[in-house]
Structure 1
Amino acid sequence: MTAAQVSVLLPYRDAAQTLPACIASIRAQTLEHFELLCIDDHSSDGGAELVAEIAREDPRIRPVTAPGHGLVQALNFGLQTARGGLVARMDADDIMHPRRLELQQRAMAEDAGLTVLASCVEAFADGPLTDGFRAYIDWQNSCVSAEAMAADIYLEAPVAHPSVMLRKARILAHGGYRDGDFPEDYELWLRLHQRGEGFGKLPKRLLRWRDHGQRLSRRDPRYARAAFDRLRADYLARDARLLAARDRLVIWGAGRKTRSRVGWLLRQGYRPRAWIDIDPRKIGNRLDGVPVVNPDWLRRRSPRPFVLSYVAAHGARPCIEAELGRLGYRKGTDYLHVG
């Protein structure tokens, strides 16, 4: 068999119901030469036996058992075990577009600067999609360019984990996935971004991404709001843009819930020059000695403040972007949104 340049990493645990359709979509790829590394994280529902049976029909499939327990250990074991220089992530309940591997491998070959290449995605579910998941998918599919992903990386994870193709050597050089009280994929994206690795996204929807109540992101505390807030603050505190603007930092959003989220950053030694708000009941007050001012305060300030917008209210971000644009502020250079 021709040596595979692409390894598909498919960790699974108790996914016997969805594995057949998932594996069938991978076997149907237009790129013929790949290996499918099916990593059993100690299933008890017959999934491992099902994979072994399918593997007897297709030599591209390598069933293995993770030596440890948990998703992060399974992923790192897969990275170490993969034969291909390019690694495509896949989850056991999702469906690959037939041309995904072909198109991603081609793009990676054409651009040696890419370490992470995602794609747009299509959401599906057994029942109605939740409003939150639908909004996240819409944002994901609108955040395509490298510049857009860099500008909004502290808002949300800008790539869908099961849609990515990774340059294995670069991921291993940065230590692979880390285990902790945080979402392992978002931590990897933040780390790679901070270290200057290249991100890309194909505008075609090459993954059908399933939404269901048993997703880890809905039931594991590592994916809770507080875990994301802590992780963002840790990397934001070390972001070169923020370090350069440490003495001219301004926070947009002076509400109680916003200040609670900002607290993770302030505990790392940052102190804003001002809080921005549009609520007349807040403007004119002081928070720990720092004034609450309206957006016009930003006009003609020298040196120009660096704005972190923490406002999460529905529909607020486009309004804030419009106001900052009117004042001449550029996203990614003069301000960032924080999720």
Structure 2
Amino acid sequence: MAAPKITVTMPCYNCGDTVGGALESLLAQTCADFEVVAVDDGSTDDTAGVLAEYARRDSRIRTFSIEHGGVIAAANAGIEAARGRYVARMDADDEALPERLAAQSKLLDEHPETGLVGCRVRFGGCRETCAGYAHYVDWTNTLLTHEAVSLNRFVEFPVPNPSIMFRRECLDEHGPYRDGDFPEDYELLLRWLEAGVKMEKVDAELLVWNDPPTRLSRNHPRYDVSAFYRIKTEYLARWLAANNPHHPVVHILGSGRTTRKRADLLLDHGIEFAAYYDVDPRKIGHVVNGVRVRDRNDVPEPGAGFCIPYVASRGAREDIAEFLSDRGYVTGRDCIPAA
């Protein structure tokens, strides 16, 4: 049998209630030149039976079971079995909209310099009870170009993992998911960006990203806040070493407890702080770990120092970006946002 153009890899664990819907959404794609490699990660429910039934119905669905080893083992097993020129990822509780595979593969066809593509995604949870996650999805949907993805990589995870499609060569050159005490999807993205992989998004909603209570990012310690900041800081420190003309010295915008807790992780990587900057007059003049808190208006002129706005809250982040832009700062040259 000829190899398909696209392989969709789908790790599956105890998802008997949802995986049928995910597979139905793939079978309804306008692009027919694909296969699905669904890996049953030692499920204890009826996942294996559901997968077997779909494999009997359609030869494009290939499925096999492995001993339960977690999502990374299952994801990499699917990747290893993939035969497609392009490899897509999808979770067993999400829904691919009909044009997903056609639109993403078209972008890769037309832009050989691009290694990985995403898309805008539709939030599938409750916006009232899961407002933070919904706002995060909205934010990712504003990042469509490689420049936007690259320059915002240290704020949050800019390309939702279930939405990606990439060239097989990226795997050969930069490796699959790695196992460790960090979110494997974020680490892969940071590693590939660091290696120079160009990433773009299709400017269309092509995936419904559901947010069930069982989602791993809600329950597994690999995805807790501290794990995100550890891996983010490691890659940010290396980015600064390569791009900060004043390395290892930086200026930190923000001086609250959360900012200091996150920014101070850089100190373990040899980064030095010239000052903290804040808008709160009650903080200005204080000394934190030997570093003075200064008025925000005292930040150095562009070219005289490198700034990192360490602000996570919505509104404040946009305010600082506008402040630096008005002073002539260019993101990536004079500053890089983090959170």
User: Same fold by TM-score, threshold 0.5 exceeded?
Assistant: yes
Query: Given that residues 252 and 277 in structure 2 are in contact (C-alpha distance below 8 angstroms), is that contact kept between their aligned partners in structure 1?
Result: yes
Letter paired with 2:299: L
* Matching of residue 337 in structure 1 with residue 329 in structure 2: no
Aligned partners of 1:153, 1:143: CA distance in 2, in Å? 10
In structure 2, the CA distance between the partners of 1:126 and 1:254, relative to structure 1 (3 Å rule), is closer
Query: Given that residues 19 and 92 in structure 2 are in contact (C-alpha distance below 8 angstroms), is that contact kept between their aligned partners in structure 1?
Result: yes
Superposed structure 1 runs of 4+ greater than 4 Å apart: 126-129, 240-243
How many corresponding residue pairs? 338
Aligned partners of 1:278, 1:127: CA distance in 2, in Å? 31
Query: Given that residues 283 and 293 in structure 2 are in contact (C-alpha distance below 8 angstroms), is that contact kept between their aligned partners in structure 1?
Result: yes
**Paired residues for 1:20-169 under 5 Å:** 20-66=20-66, 69-125=69-125, 128-169=128-169
Aligned partners of 1:62, 1:216: CA distance in 2, in Å? 24
Aligned partners of 2:254, 2:97: CA distance in 1, in Å? 41
Aligned partners of 1:304, 1:205: CA distance in 2, in Å? 42
Secondary structure of 2:269's counterpart equals coil
Aligned partners of 1:15, 1:92: CA distance in 2, in Å? 7
Relative to the length of structure 2, the TM-score reads 0.95
Query: Given that residues 237 and 243 in structure 1 are in contact (C-alpha distance below 8 angstroms), is that contact kept between their aligned partners in structure 2?
Result: no
| Structure-1 residue corresponding to 2:321 | 321
Query: Given that residues 13 and 47 in structure 1 are in contact (C-alpha distance below 8 angstroms), is that contact kept between their aligned partners in structure 2?
Result: yes
Letter paired with 1:304: A
Tell me by how many angstroms 1:312 deviates.
2.2
Letter paired with 1:260: K
Relative to the length of structure 1, the TM-score reads 0.95
Secondary structure of 2:30's counterpart equals coil
Q: What is the RMSD of the two structures over their aligned residues, measured on CA atoms?
A: 1.6
* Structure 2: tracts of 5 or more residues without a match: none
Q: Which moved more, 1:17-26 or 1:324-333?
A: 324-333
Aligned partners of 1:23, 1:203: CA distance in 2, in Å? 24
Aligned partners of 2:25, 2:177: CA distance in 1, in Å? 26
Tell me by how many angstroms 1:284 deviates.
1.6
Tell me by how many angstroms 1:263 deviates.
1.9
Question: Per-residue displacement from partner, 1:45-81 (whole Å, max 9, x unpaired)?
Answer: 1111111011111010101123561111111111111
| Structure-1 residue corresponding to 2:237 | 237
Aligned partners of 1:247, 1:231: CA distance in 2, in Å? 19
**Aligned residues with identical type, % of pairs:** 38
* Structure 1: tracts of 5 or more residues without a match: none
| Structure-1 residue corresponding to 2:284 | 283
| Structure-2 residue corresponding to 1:293 | 294
Secondary structure of 2:273's counterpart equals coil
Aligned partners of 1:66, 1:173: CA distance in 2, in Å? 26
